[in-house]
Amino acid sequence: MLLSVWSAAALAAAASPSVPTAEVTARGETAPVATAQGDAADDPAIWRNPARPGESLIVGTDKKAGLYVYGLDGKVRDFAAAGRLNNVDLIDMGAVGVIVVASDRNDEAQAKLQVWWLDTAAAKLRPLGAVTGGAGEAYGVCLLRDAAGLTAFSVLKHGAIAQVRIALDGAAPAGRIVRTMQLPTQTEGCVADPRTGTLYVGEEDRGIWAFDTREDRPAEATLVATVDRAHLFDDVEGLALMPVGRTGGWLIASSQGDNAYALFELPSMKPVGRFRVVAGRFGGTEETDGIAVMPGSFGKDYPAGLFVAQDGHNQPAPQNFKLVSWRDVLAALRKGRARH
């Protein structure tokens, strides 16, 4: 399988001083969100059906209306009207099931995290309740499962990150802020690596920061990727993680300023390639906010992983999400390496 035979180390050679940008086309797209005016679709999350990969699901936000569930055919399977939801993540909690959490910015002074259980058989969202997301406007959210249970990282627009422990054993979810972190300016995208306990957060005009998620450690950040306007352009938007092995793989960032996606080798965070989604059978992607990626087979069109990106244009229809084969991404990067 291409994902396993072409390692992150091999990709490192693809980067050159000219920072070439590979091109891929989408193999699918979702139905547009219902909000027809302005910036609406924002962030996706992926649930992979291990028994029947072709029946996997995508959850995506309309940040002016609520939360969608899509099939891989792009058709709407469910919609939860919830107002201004910005980012979304989901996680398999084993016996508890698949939990979906979205950042709720309906009250810009007090962030909330809305929690659902995803009925994967019916492709329906079942609301569980809401927990605190910290003081400020909700923006980003990402989830981490560890031995202690479920943690959400509530990224607030002004740069604070609330680490929220969520308990799911009661009649409704309960949230408790166990630690707060801070970045200097506007932040949004985040992703947590359960293998290393590292949280990555995008500061839109500066770059990508890394935090140790252990509650007993100092809430100190390390700048691991800088907006250099060569490999990574501002705004830094969605972040996603494609794991390989115990610590390897790639961190992918939406380099919104030039309509591209930047790859960084894990765990070193060395820049190793860039790509764009251009028009083919489906349209390309521009001004992408949220992204998601997941390894494994999703059927014949996505045999080695699925990458999903919000499309900020999609005219004449409202915004939607584009589906890209991860195998196509790796092949395009390899082709670019051969040319350079």
pLDDT tier at 37 (50, 70, 90 boundaries)? confident
In this predicted structure, what is the pLDDT of residue 294?
98
Cα–Cα dist 260/194, whole Å: 26
Residue range 92-102, pLDDT digits in tens: 999 999 999 99
- Does residue 9 carry a pLDDT above 50? no
In this predicted structure, what is the pLDDT of residue 1?
29
Neighbours of 5 (CB within 10 A): 8
- Does residue 340 carry a pLDDT above 60? no
- What average pLDDT does this structure show over 236-254? 97
- What average pLDDT does this structure show over 105-110? 97
- Does residue 164 carry a pLDDT above 60? yes
pLDDT tier at 56 (50, 70, 90 boundaries)? very high
In this predicted structure, what is the pLDDT of residue 7?
44
In this predicted structure, what is the pLDDT of residue 337?
67
In this predicted structure, what is the pLDDT of residue 3?
34
Domain that holds residue 120: 2-339
**Who contacts 85 (Cβ-Cβ below 8 Å, separation ≥6)?**
61, 62, 63, 66, 67, 102, 103, 104, 105, 114
| pTM for this prediction | 0.94
CATH of the domain at 62: 2.120.10.30
Per-chain mean pLDDT for the chain: 93
Long-range CB contact pairs, 250-254, < 8 A, 24+: 250/8, 250/11, 251/191, 251/200, 251/208, 251/225, 252/291, 252/293, 252/307, 253/189, 253/202, 253/208, 253/225, 254/189, 254/288, 254/289, 254/290, 254/291, 254/309
In this predicted structure, what is the pLDDT of residue 335?
85
* Residues forming a β-bridge with 197: none
In this predicted structure, what is the pLDDT of residue 10?
42
Number of domains composing the chain: 1
